[in-house]
């Protein structure tokens, strides 16, 4: 399968669409209990869950052009570092920014760099009015990322069958 061309670049990160050939990256990312701690209590994704993710991500590129979940690698050495997304929360009108990084990549400002590029793209290119972010109440790192990219704490909300902290960004008038 041909590797898709980079879709967006930030100073350190290259983002591109996922293909089915990338299932091993997702399996690796989701196999680390530290990564999955605030997502599902630390359980690695099963092969069936990884396959479902790959299908959903692939389908959403054509269902929702311009939105998606993009594979992230370091520009300097090509290392896989995880993914960033700007996508509808299923069965809601809400578009969320999201990210999941391999543990080796944490603590270097990479989540902030990638998420801030997607939020800017959402407001400036897609002209979205509102982008949200949600986190587990204990996920301070993710909450800090959302605030650093300009989203504002907005209390509690209910998404993905969970009670979560909500962060909201609104487009500034031009
Ligand atoms: C959340 C996650 C993406 C953060 O990635 P990261 O690249 O380490 O984040 P950054 O380096 O951009 O850090 C953002 C801010 O959070 C702070 N931070 C990082 N880890 C933290 C922690 N464990 N507790 C508190 N603050 C933390 C950083 O210091 C930084 O703030 P600063 O610049 O003022 O120092 C990463 O930990 C991850 O992938 N976790 C697993 C998946 C996940 O939880 N995704 C989010 C689901 S809502």
Long-range contacts of 48-55 (CB under 8 A, 24+ apart): 50/23, 50/26, 51/23, 53/26, 54/18, 54/20, 54/22, 54/23, 54/26
Tell me whether residue 123 is in a domain.
yes
Q: Is residue 69 part of a domain?
A: yes
Q: Nearest-CA neighbor of 75 among 120, 33, 121, 117?
A: 117
- Indicate whether 18 belongs to any domain: yes
Ligand 1 centre distance from Cα of residue 56 (Å): 26
- State how far Cα 28 lies from the chain centre: 16
**Within a domain: 3:** no
Domain interval for residue 119: 8-170
Is residue 2 a part of any domain in this protein? no
In a domain, 1, yes or no: no
Q: What pLDDT is recorded for position 72?
A: 98
Any domain includes 39: yes
pLDDT of residue 137: 97
How much distance in Å is there from the Cα of 174 to the middle of ligand 1? Answer: 30
| Cα–Cα distance measured from residue 100 to residue 170, given in angstroms and rounded to the nearest whole number | 23
Check pocket membership of 99 for ligand 1, CB cut-off 6 A.
yes
- Structure tokens of 59? 């389908």
Instruction: Look at the chain and report how many structural domains it folds into.
Output: 1
Q: Is 159 in the pocket of ligand 1 (CB under 6 A)?
A: no
- Token pair recorded at residue 47: 């092969």
Plot region of 11 (φ>0 → left; ψ -120 to 50 → alpha; else → beta): alpha
Q: How far is the CA of 143 from the centre of ligand 1 (A)?
A: 8
What pLDDT score was predicted for residue 8?
98
Q: Model confidence over 42-90: pLDDT tens digits? A: 999 999 999 999 999 999 999 999 999 999 999 999 999 999 999 999 9
2 pLDDT more than 90: no
Residue nearest to atom 26 of ligand 1 (CA): 141
CB of 108 within 6 A of ligand 1: the answer is yes
Q: What's the chain look like in SS3? A: CCCCCCCEECCCEEEEECCHHHHHHHHHHCCCHHHHHHHHCCCCCCHHHHHHHHHHHHHHHHHCCCCEEEEEEECCCCCEEEEEEEEECCCCCCEEEEEEECHHHCCCCHHHHHHHHHHHHHHHHCCCCEEEEEECCCCHHHHHHHHHCCCEEEEEEEECCEEEEEEEEECCCC
In a domain, 155, yes or no: yes
CATH of the domain at 38: 3.40.630.30
81 CA distance to ligand 1 centroid (A)?
A: 14
Is pLDDT of 133 > 80? Answer: yes
């Amino acid at each position: 399968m041909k590797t898709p061309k980079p879709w967006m670049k930030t100073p350190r990160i290259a983002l591109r669409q996922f293909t089915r050939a990338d299932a091993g990256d997702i399996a690796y990312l989701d196999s680390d209990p530290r990564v999955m701690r605030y997502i599902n209590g630390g359980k690695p994704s099963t092969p069936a869950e990884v396959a479902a993710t790959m299908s959903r991500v692939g389908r959403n590129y054509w269902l929702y052009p311009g939105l998606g979940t993009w594979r992230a690698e370091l520009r300097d050495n090509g290392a896989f570092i995880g993914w960033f997304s700007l996508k509808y929360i299923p069965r809601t009108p809400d578009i969320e920014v999201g990210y999941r990084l391999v543990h080796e990549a944490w603590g270097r400002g990479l989540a902030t760099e990638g998420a801030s590029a997607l939020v800017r793209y959402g407001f400036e290119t897609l002209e979205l009015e509102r982008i949200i972010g949600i986190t587990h109440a204990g996920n301070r790192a993710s909450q800090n990322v959302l605030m650093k990219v300009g989203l504002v704490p907005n209390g509690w909300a209910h998404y993905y069958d969970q009670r979560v902290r909500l962060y909201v960004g609104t487009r500034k008038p031009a």
